[in-house]
Amino acid sequence: MNFLTEGIIDCVIVVVLLAIAAIFTAVETALISISRARVEDMDETRSTRTLLAILDNRARFINPLILVRTACEAGASVIITVLAIRLIHEAAVVVAIVLLTVLFYVFLGVVGRTVGRQNPYTVGLRAAFFLRPIVKLFSPLASLLIWLGNVFTPGKKFEQGPFTNEVELREMVDIASERGVVQVEERRMIQAIFDLANTRARKVMVPRTDMLWIESEKSARQATRLCVRSGHSRIPVVGENVDDIEGVVYLKDLVALSYDDPSKNSTPVKEVMRPAEFVPDSLPLDELLGDMQTSHDHIALLVDEFGAIAGLISIEDILEEIVGEISDEYDEDEVAPVEELDDGSFRLVARFSLDELVELYDEKRGIDIEFSEEQLEDVETVAGLLAFELGRVPLPGAQVTTAGLTFRAEGGHDRRGRIRITSVVVSRSATSSEPVNGDDSKTGIVHSGTGDHESES
C-alpha cells in the first residue's frame, strides 16, 4: 500500500470519526434539551416510549455517549497528527493543533450542538433505538472511568458523573439570571432544589442535644403545657432515655383529647402519642421529603450508623433549605443565622455549616476560603471546627485560626444552667495563631462534652 492510498484511508477514517462524534454531540445536546412533559403529550409510539424510558435516567445514556465521542475525538487527533508529521516535518504539531481546533469547533461545537438544540425531539426520537445497545456496550466502562475520576476529584463527587442534565440546567439558570430572566432569589431557590439530592439529613437536623422531648409517663396536661411554652406542635416521647423514643405526641391530638372532657388531661402521653418515623441520618433530603410526603409525617427521627438517635428533622427544616429561613410567631427571639458586624466580621450560629461559610465569604467578600480535606470530611459546622482544632469541647472565649480565618466562640448558660456555645464570630486573620480554649476558671464550670436534654417535669 503506497503513501497516497494510506493517506486517503486515514482521511476517510477521520471523516467517519468526526461524523460519529458530531452525531453523538447532537444526541447529547438533544437529550439535555428535551422536556419530558412534551414527550408525554406526543402520540404514543414505540419511539416515544423508548425516549421516555431514556429520559427517566438521562445520565445513564449520556455518559456512554460522551465516552464514545471522546474516543472518536482522540482517534481523529492521533490520525491527523500522524498525517501532519508525514507531510510536514517541522511544523507538524502546530498544523495539527490548528486543524484539530478548527475541525472540533466547527463540526462538534457548532454543527453538532446547533442541530441538537434546533431539533431536539426529532434527534431524540431517531436516536432512541441505537442508544440502548450503545449503553449496554459502553456503560460499564463509563461507570468505571467515572469512579476512577471521582477517586482523584477533591470535594463533592457526582456518582453518575458531571455529565448529567442537572449540570446543564444549573448553567442555564445562571445564564437566565445574568440576563435578568430569572430573579436572584428565584435562581437561589432553583439551585437549592438541585442541592437537596446532595445534602444529607444530618446536615440540617436539630441535633440530639437541642431536641425537646417528654417522658411517656407524663400527663397530657404537662405535654400541652410544654407545647405551648416551647412553640412546638410535635414533640418526641421517650421511655428510659432519649435513645428510647416511643413515639411523637401532636398538640392537636392533645387539644382534641381534652376539648370535650377536661378530665382526660391526666391521660399518660404514651396513650395519645403516634408512631415515630425513624430514618438514617445519611438519607438525602430529596428522598426524605418524598418519604415524608408519602407517609404524611411532618417530623422524623434520625438514626446514626450505630443505631443511636442523632437528632430530628421536620418538613419545615427541609423547605428552609429551598426558600430560606421560615419564621413564625415563636421565632421572634431566635438568633439570626448570620449577623454582619461593624468590623467586617460575621457572627454565625454555632450550627452554621462550613459549606455555607465558604459561600458567604465568596458572595460578601469575594474571597475564596479553602479548608483542608480532613476538615471537610470530619467537620460540618463552625462550632464543630472549633472542637476539631482544639481537640476538646470548646468553651466561650475559645479561639482558633485556620484557613485564613479566626473563629471565636460565644455562649453562656442555657435554661439548665450549663454552658453552651451559641454563636461563633468569624473574621479574617492576617497571621496564624495557636488554638486557645476558654478559661474555665472565669466561667466557674467543669469543662465537659456532655449535652443537655430537655424534659418536662
List pLDDT tens digits, range 54-93.
888 777 888 888 899 999 999 999 999 988 888 887 788 8
Domains defined along the chain, listed by start: 3-171 (no CATH), 201-323 (3.10.580.10), 338-443 (3.30.465.10)
Q: What is the pLDDT of residue 456?
A: 40
DSSP string, 45-89: -HHHHHHHHHHTTHHHHHHHHHHHHHHHHHHHHHHHHHHHHHH-S
Share of the chain above pLDDT 70, in %: 84
- Out of 100-104, 260-264, 275-279, 433-437, least confident range: 433-437
Spatial CB neighbours of 315, under 8 Å, sequence gap ≥ 6: 289, 292, 298, 299
Cα–Cα distance, 208 to 313 (Å, whole number) = 10
- What local confidence, expressed as pLDDT, does residue 117 receive? 85
Task: Examine the pLDDT at 227 and tell me if it is beyond 60.
Answer: yes
Q: What is the pLDDT of residues 294-330, one digit of tens each?
A: 888 899 999 998 889 999 999 988 988 888 776 665 5
**153-181 average pLDDT score:** 63
- The three cell numbers locating residue 245: 423514643
pLDDT score for 260: 77
Name the pLDDT band for 366 (thresholds 50, 70, 90): confident
Give one word for 364, left, alpha or beta, with left for phi > 0 and alpha for psi -120 to 50: alpha
pLDDT of residue 400: 92
Confidence grade of residue 48 (pLDDT, cut at 50, 70, 90): confident
Mean pLDDT of 219-232: 89
The amino acid present at 412, given as its one-letter code, is G
What one-character DSSP code corresponds to residue 197?
G
Closest CA to 216 of 269, 262, 257, 166: 269
Query: Is residue 418 very low, low, confident or very high in pLDDT (cuts 50, 70, 90)?
Result: low
